[in-house]
Amino acid sequence: MDNDAKKDDRPSRIGRARHYVLVLMPLLVLAGLIAWRVQGKMAEAAAQAEQRAARMRMAPQVAVATATVRDIVHTFTSVANVEAPLNVRISPKVTGRIDYLEVHEGDRVRLGQVLVRLDPSELQAAVNQQRANLAEARYRLAQAQITQSPTVVSVESQIKQQEAELASSQADYNQTRQNYNAQVAAAEAAVTDAQGRVDSANAAVANAQAAIRSAQANLDNAQSKYNRTYSLYKQGFVAAQDVDDARTAVSVQQAALDVARGQLNAAIAARDSATAQKNSALQQLDIVKTKGKADIEAARAKVVQAQASLDYAKANRAQKPAYQENLAALRSAVAAAQAMLKNAEAQLANTVLTSPIDGYVTGRFMDPGTVATPGQPILALQAMQDVWVSVPVPEEVSPKIYMGQPATVVLDALPGHTFHGRVSQINPSADPTSRQFTVRITIDNHERLLKPGMFARVTMVTDKVTGATVVPREAVRQGGTGATVMVVDDQGVVHQRSVEVGTSDSADIVITRGISPGEKVITMTAMRLRDGMRVRVGGAGHPGRGRRRRA
């Protein structure tokens, strides 16, 4: 019975042994893998340590550059405006209606060319009147001289002359009144025309204000649409393109509002100009009335004076001295008539306006039929054979600018063209706001490519060092003891050398002492170097390339 029990227990022991084997086998395999991994890591760490030690024993690699000889040039570049050296406004000296005006903006004019003719009828009548007065005065003087011997005859002649003087004074008085009425009518017409321009300008201002309100409403609408679109975009209901479109619409409406504001400013400027023209016309009307009334009173006084002279001549028929005085008065009258004739002829000549320069018409402010008044411009002329390029110069650069200094000018509007000129004017006073000096450069414009108002860029050489020994800027180290560089000799040995530096540009710095052309200087290295250390040259250094440390 015991044997049977032992036989029954044997299979169970064999099963348990198999179970133990199955459990221990994975554990043994895992332990073997761990041991193998640990051994591999240890071998890898040992290899890396050996490599680090080898690198520490190896000479470091450096980037070098060769000291060269070249010119260091410093330039000043700034934006500038093209200007005309002569800018003339043509305005009349007398009041009159424009009969002839055929030039327009862009037309070329010559010195002495007739540009404007005013209606000469009134002034021509005045010249004719003064010629008649002169002839009459000479006639009276001649008659007095012929009849001066007999006292009675001379007195009678004097009486006749005074009668003629009275008649002439009366004619002058009537002519003066007629001229006054004509001039007042012309001045009132100018006031009416100016008032029409003011009304038109006010209407333009109102339209511009309405355009601003409309543009503001459009902008507000676009901004609201953008806000709603952006809110929907954050909630995921619309695409990002819709947000960009709404933002673009806001920008467009903002630009439209800016344009409307600019149009309002232009309309206000036009209204101010029209108001100024109206005020000028009102002042001219007052001047015409005041002068006309004064002329009428003067003519009336001449009539009274002529009547008094006639009465005096009649009362002094027997007085010869009075006759002699009359001769002197007649000579004075002839001289006065000659002076008045010259003045009238000068006024008549002022009805023809000629060009004082060779140039181009850049502005036309009136048309034929308009009544022009003194001081009111009709045309604007500019000379363009030579042009000025005006450039602002900072105060720290101004000491380096001199008369006759060469300058190079380029313009975005004329790609491929380079213009050369020289400094012709330097303003000795700086602008109090910008603290900059205005420098003008004269450029030959015989091809007529440059126009006043164009945008230009000016370049001038302010300093130049010729034949300087230079090295890259990154090769120089600045310290408490001064500037130093690391020089590599032919055997690859580093030598720290003190140097003196000068000016520099964006790439190189000038070495005035301590380096000779052809020597190699270190620009970059992977580790700190010491004097006498051996290195390996790995190539030319370049600032900002890689993560190397500067020498």
The DSSP-derived string for 248-263 is HHHHHHHHHHHHHHHH
**Considering only CA atoms, which of 333, 372, 390, 336 is closest in space to residue 87?**
390
Please report, for the chain, the start and end positions of each structural domain, with discontinuous segments joined by +. 1-57, 61-72+465-550, 120-350
Q: What is the pLDDT of residue 348?
A: 85
CATH 1.10.287.620 is the classification of domain 120-350 = yes
Q: Cα–Cα distance between 519 and 416 in angstroms, integer? A: 41
- pLDDT confidence tier of residue 201, bands split at 50, 70 and 90: confident
pLDDT at 240 over 50: yes
Tell me the average pLDDT across 534-546: 57
Q: Cα–Cα distance between 241 and 220 in angstroms, integer? A: 20
> Comparing 170 with 545, which gets the higher pLDDT?
170
Q: Which residue type does 352 have?
A: V
Tell me the average pLDDT across 248-277: 85
- In the DSSP assignment, the letter for residue 429 is S
Q: Which range, of 97-111, 295-309, 317-331, 346-360, averages the lowest pLDDT? A: 317-331
Q: Cα–Cα distance between 137 and 133 in angstroms, integer? A: 6
pLDDT at 443 over 90: yes
Percent of the chain with pLDDT over 70: 88
Produce one character per residue of 313-326: b if its CB has 16 or more CB atoms within 10 Å, e if not.
Answer: beebeeeeebbeeb
Please give the full DSSP string across 8-34, using - where no structure is assigned. HHHHHHHHHHHHHHHHHHHHHHHHHHH
Tell me the average pLDDT across 184-196: 83
pLDDT at 544 over 50: no
61-72+465-550 and 120-350 agree in CATH topology? no
Would you say 502 and 467 are in contact if contact means Cβ atoms under 8 Å apart?
Answer: no
- pLDDT confidence tier of residue 226, bands split at 50, 70 and 90: confident
**Considering only CA atoms, which of 450, 442, 411 is closest in space to residue 426?**
442
> Comparing 324 with 250, which gets the higher pLDDT?
250
- pLDDT confidence tier of residue 477, bands split at 50, 70 and 90: confident
- Beta-carbon contacts of 125 under 8 Å, excluding residues fewer than 6 positions away, are none
Q: How much is the mean pLDDT over the chain?
A: 83
Q: What is the pLDDT of residue 547?
A: 34
Q: What is the pLDDT of residue 282?
A: 82
- pLDDT confidence tier of residue 324, bands split at 50, 70 and 90: confident
- For helices 320-349 and 240-315, give the axis angle rounded to 10 degrees: 160
Q: Which range, of 26-40, 335-349, 512-526, 529-543, averages the lowest pLDDT? A: 529-543
Q: Which range, of 338-342, 398-402, 503-507, 531-535, averages the lowest pLDDT? A: 503-507
Q: Cα–Cα distance between 397 and 390 in angstroms, integer? A: 15
Q: Bridge partners of 443?
A: 387
Please give the full DSSP string across 527-543, using - where no structure is assigned. S---TT-B-EEEEE--T
Q: Bridge partners of 471?
A: 509
220: alpha, beta or left? (left if phi > 0; alpha if psi -120 to 50): alpha
> Comparing 305 with 21, which gets the higher pLDDT?
305
Q: What is the pLDDT of residue 34?
A: 83
> Comparing 189 with 406, which gets the higher pLDDT?
406
Tell me the average pLDDT across 448-467: 89
Would you say 466 and 71 are in contact if contact means Cβ atoms under 8 Å apart?
Answer: yes
Q: Cα–Cα distance between 377 and 73 in angstroms, integer? A: 49
What phi, psi does 220 have (nearest 5°)?
A: -60, -40
Element (H, E) at 282: helix 240-315
The CA–CA distances, whole Å, from 83 to 196, 199, 250, 313, 329 equal 35, 35, 38, 69, 58
Q: What is the pLDDT of residue 291?
A: 80
- pLDDT confidence tier of residue 458, bands split at 50, 70 and 90: very high
Tell me the average pLDDT across 339-347: 88
Element (H, E) at 187: helix 151-234
- pLDDT confidence tier of residue 377, bands split at 50, 70 and 90: very high
Query: 108-109 and 359-364 as β-strands: parallel, antiparallel, unpaired?
Result: antiparallel
Percent of the chain with pLDDT over 90: 19
Residue with tokens 């414009």: 445
Q: Cα–Cα distance between 405 and 445 in angstroms, integer? A: 18
Q: How confident is the model over 107-134, as pLDDT tens digits?
A: 999 999 999 999 988 888 888 998 898 8
Query: 61-66 and 536-540 as β-strands: parallel, antiparallel, unpaired?
Result: parallel
Residue with tokens 């602002």: 392
Q: What is the pLDDT of residue 550?
A: 43
Domain 61-72+465-550 carries which CATH code? 2.40.420.20
Tell me the average pLDDT across 383-388: 89
Burial classification of residue 140, based on how many CB atoms lie within 10 Å of its CB (0-12 exposed, 13-18 middle, 19 or more buried): buried
Q: What is the pLDDT of residue 75?
A: 85
pLDDT at 456 over 90: yes
Grouping H, G, I as helix, E, B as strand and the rest as coil, residue 402 is: coil
Q: What is the pLDDT of residue 319?
A: 58
Q: Cα–Cα distance between 166 and 120 in angstroms, integer? A: 29
pLDDT at 228 over 90: no
